[in-house]
Amino acid sequence: MSTVLVVDAANVVGTRPNGWWKDRAGAARRLHEQLLVGDTPHDEIVLVLEGAAKGGVRAGRDQHVRTVHAPKDGDSEIERQTRAAVEAGHRVTVITADNFLRARVQGLGATPMSPSWLLDHL
């Protein structure tokens, strides 16, 4: 069974007080670059971007990282990506600090983890 990591980019980037809010696209690009070389135990990483962050990374696949641009809000897209991966038979982990979203993806069969877990692997 393959493993999929779905990343709530806004939550991960928002955990570091490094001025990310001044350059959301740049923060998304840096996170994408870290995911490409990071040491995570997952076969595929789905990076979900919303708003201005979408300007930092084009939608599509780069090696094992697939970037998705949320058409509306990021939470709905994270839930959609999670549901699709679970229904395809993958073991799914979702990185988010949003307690409501954590409960929703857990109800779909995914394992929620905190942004700090991911940052420890990057």
CATH architecture of 3-120: 3-Layer(aba) Sandwich (3.40)
Q: Where are the domains of the chain?
A: 3-120
How far apart are alpha carbons 2 and 42 in whole angstroms? 8
> Do the Cβ atoms of 75 and 57 come closer than 8 Å?
no
pLDDT of residue 21: 65
Q: Cα separations (Å) of 72 from 50, 104, 121?
A: 7, 18, 29
Determine if the pTM surpasses 0.85: yes
Angle, CA 98 vertex, CA 92 and CA 103 arms, to 5°: 55
Query: Could you tell me where the beta strands, DSSP code E, fall in 1-122?
Result: 3-8, 44-49, 60-62, 65-69, 91-95, 111-113
List, for residues 94-114, the tens digit of each pLDDT value. Answer: 999 999 999 999 999 999 999
